[in-house]
Amino acid sequence: MKVVVGITGASGAIYAYRLLEELRKRGDEVILVISDAAKKVIRFELEVDIEKLYELATQVFENNNLAAPIASGSYPVDAVVIVPCSMATLAAIATGQADTLIRRAADCALSEGRPLILVLRETPLNLVHIENMMRAKIAGAVILPAMPAFYHSPKTVKDLVDFIVGKIFDVLKVPHNLYKRWEGERDG
Ligand SMILES: Cc1cc2nc3c(=O)[nH]c(=O)nc-3n(C[C@H](O)[C@H](O)[C@H](O)COP(=O)(O)O)c2cc1C
């Protein structure tokens, strides 16, 4: 798989880090772009520095490089995952503002009918956020909020994070054991 991973400045950089680790384990090709705001958040939230994230990618581009291959829909990729996705980037995607590489890659994914997964993180949500989610969803994006479940009895933060990474893999149709699936309650 060739996947674009865009990291934006919402809280939850750890979701991106774990996704990159898992994609690397699988041997997928990863094209990584990190927004300026995300670089700041990564410094606050992760114990590893940004170089470690870059090492997990196949190729890295700056977010202002609108001449990168992924800025064109003619460049084939299997999916674009924005994780975590800020409300600012959601708003840009929902309104067609392709003014950064991450936003442009998302725009191209929608144009080409390729999977675009937005791992949103904000709470509480205002009406603008909700309307933007609706617009992005109608345009073809998968709205995948960073909203871990508890039915798989998570014991650690990693368990919670891996639940979301597993959900991303579910959308990408990638087999995984990142969380234990609900098997249903037995009668009697
Ligand atoms: C520590 C920190 C945490 C933030 N968390 C969020 C968040 O969870 N969700 C969000 O939408 N924005 C959050 N922001 C604000 C975004 O970083 C800001 O809107 C930025 O313009 C997003 O730009 P980008 O989408 O290009 O990365 C946070 C900012 C900082 C400094």
Residue 184 belongs to a domain: no
pLDDT score, position 85: 98
**Dihedral pair phi/psi, residue 6, rounded to 5°:** -110, 125
pTM: 0.97
pLDDT score, position 176: 96
- What is the average pLDDT across 154-179? 97
Structure-block tokens of residue 76: 């084939």
pLDDT score, position 188: 72
Residue 147 belongs to a domain: yes
Structure-block tokens of residue 46: 């992760």
Residue 6 belongs to a domain: no
Pocket test for ligand 1, best of 5, 15, 41, 118 (most atoms within 8 A of CB): 41
pLDDT score, position 187: 85
Structural domain containing residue 120 = 13-171
The number of residues making up the chain comes to 188
Residue 135 belongs to a domain: yes
Distance 12 CA to ligand 1 centre (A): 10
Q: What is the DSSP letter of 122?
A: -
* Structure confidence at residue 165 as a pLDDT band (50, 70, 90): very high
Residue 186 belongs to a domain: no
* Structure confidence at residue 170 as a pLDDT band (50, 70, 90): very high
* Structure confidence at residue 185 as a pLDDT band (50, 70, 90): confident
Residue 183 belongs to a domain: no
- CB of 68 sitting under 6 A from ligand 1: no
Distance 23 CA to ligand 1 centre (A): 24
Find the helix or strand (DSSP H, E) in which 23 lies. helix 13-26
d(CA 78, CA 145): 21
Q: What's the number of domains the chain is made of?
A: 1
Residue 182 belongs to a domain: no
- CB of 132 sitting under 6 A from ligand 1: no
Could you tell me which residues are beta bridge partners of residue 140? none
* Structure confidence at residue 183 as a pLDDT band (50, 70, 90): confident
Residue 127 belongs to a domain: yes
Q: Which CATH number goes with the domain that contains 78?
A: 3.40.50.1950
Instruction: Read off the pLDDT of residues 71-122 as tens digits, 9 standing for 90 and up.
Output: 999 999 999 999 999 999 999 999 999 999 999 999 999 999 999 999 999 9
